[in-house]
Structure 1
Amino acid sequence: MSGEDENKAEVSAEQAEQAELCKEEANKCFKEQKFDEAVKFYTKAIELNPNVAVYYANRSFAYLRQESFGYALSDASKAILQDKSYVKGYYRRAAAYMSLGKFKLALRDFETVTKARPNDSDAKKKFLECTKIVRKLAFEKAIAVDTKNVADTIDLEGMAIEDDYTGPKLDGDKVTLKFMEDLMECYKKQGKLHRKYAYKILLEVEKLFMQQPSMVDINIPDEAKFTICGDIHGQFYDLMNIFSLNGLPSPDNPFLFNGDFVDRGSFSVECIFTLFGFKLLYPKHFFMSRGNHESVTMNQMYGFEGEVKAKYTEQMAQLFTEVYNWLPLCHCLNNRVLVMHGGLFSRDGVKLDELRQIERNRQPPEDGLMCELLWSDPQPQEGRAPSKRGVGVQFGPDVTHRFLKDNSLDYVVRSHEVKADGYEVAHDGKCITVFSAPNYCDTMGNKGAFIVLNGKDMKPNFTTYEAAPHPNVKPMAYASSIMSLLC
Structure 2
Amino acid sequence: MALFIIGDVHGCFHTYLKLLDQWNPKHETLIQVGDLIDRGNLSPLSIRLSFEIKKSFPDNSFFLRGNHEQMMIDHFQHAKTPYNWLQNGGEQVLSQFENLEMNLSDYQPWINELPLHWENDHVLISHAGFSGIGDPFEQNNSQNVLWSRRRPMKLDKVQIIGHTPLTSEHPQYYPESNTWNIDTGAYKGNYLSGIKLEDDGTLIELISIPTDMQDIK
Compute the displacement of 1:272 (Å).
1.0
- The Cα RMSD (Å) is 2.6
Q: SS state of the match for residue 144, structure 2?
A: helix
Compute the displacement of 1:258 (Å).
0.7
Correspondence for 2:144: 372
Residue 237 (structure 1) aligned with residue 14 (structure 2): yes
Question: 1:436 & 1:282 partners in 2: Cα distance?
Answer: 26
Give the number of the structure with larger relative contact order, counting CA–CA contacts within 8 Å between residues 6 or more apart. Answer: 2
Compute the displacement of 1:436 (Å).
5.5
Question: 1:422 & 1:231 partners in 2: Cα distance?
Answer: 13
Assess if the C-alpha contact under 8 Å between 2:47 and 2:107 holds in 1: no
Correspondence for 2:80: none
TM-score computed with the length of structure 1 as normaliser:
0.38
Question: 1:436 & 1:277 partners in 2: Cα distance?
Answer: 25
* Residues 462 and 429 of structure 1: CA distance in aligned 2, closer, same or farther (over 3 Å): farther
Map Cα deviations across residues 37-90 of structure 1 (whole Å, 9 max, x no partner): xxxxxxxxxxxxxxxxxxxxxxxxxxxxxxxxxxxxxxxxxxxxxxxxxxxxxx
Counterpart among 454, 458, 461 of residue 201 in structure 2: 458
Question: 1:240 & 1:436 partners in 2: Cα distance?
Answer: 16
Question: What letter corresponds to residue 255 of structure 1 in structure 2?
Answer: L
Q: More strand by proportion, 1 or 2?
A: 2
Question: 2:67 & 2:119 partners in 1: Cα distance?
Answer: 19
Question: 2:101 & 2:13 partners in 1: Cα distance?
Answer: 18
Correspondence for 2:192: 448
Matches within 5 A, 1:109-188: none
TM-score computed with the length of structure 2 as normaliser:
0.80
Q: More helix by proportion, 1 or 2?
A: 1
Map Cα deviations across residues 118-153 of structure 1 (whole Å, 9 max, x no partner): xxxxxxxxxxxxxxxxxxxxxxxxxxxxxxxxxxxx
Q: SS state of the match for residue 290, structure 1?
A: coil
Compute the displacement of 1:468 (Å).
3.0
Question: 1:254 & 1:342 partners in 2: Cα distance?
Answer: 20
Structure 2: runs of 5+ lacking an equivalent? 76-83
Correspondence for 1:324: 111
Correspondence for 2:182: 434
Compute the displacement of 1:282 (Å).
0.5
Q: SS state of the match for residue 372, structure 1?
A: coil
Correspondence for 1:411: 158
Residue 339 (structure 1) aligned with residue 125 (structure 2): yes
Compute the displacement of 1:451 (Å).
0.5
Question: 2:11 & 2:170 partners in 1: Cα distance?
Answer: 16
Question: 1:347 & 1:329 partners in 2: Cα distance?
Answer: 16
Instruction: Report the identity percentage.
Output: 20
Map Cα deviations across residues 311-335 of structure 1 (whole Å, 9 max, x no partner): 236xx335544432211110013x1
Q: SS state of the match for residue 54, structure 2?
A: helix
Compute the displacement of 1:426 (Å).
1.7
* Structure ID, larger Rg: 1
Compute the displacement of 1:306 (Å).
2.5
Compute the displacement of 1:418 (Å).
1.4
Q: State the number of aligned residues.
A: 201
* Residues 253 and 347 of structure 1: CA distance in aligned 2, closer, same or farther (over 3 Å): closer
Question: What letter corresponds to residue 377 of structure 1 in structure 2?
Answer: R
Correspondence for 1:256: 31
* Residues 422 and 308 of structure 1: CA distance in aligned 2, closer, same or farther (over 3 Å): farther
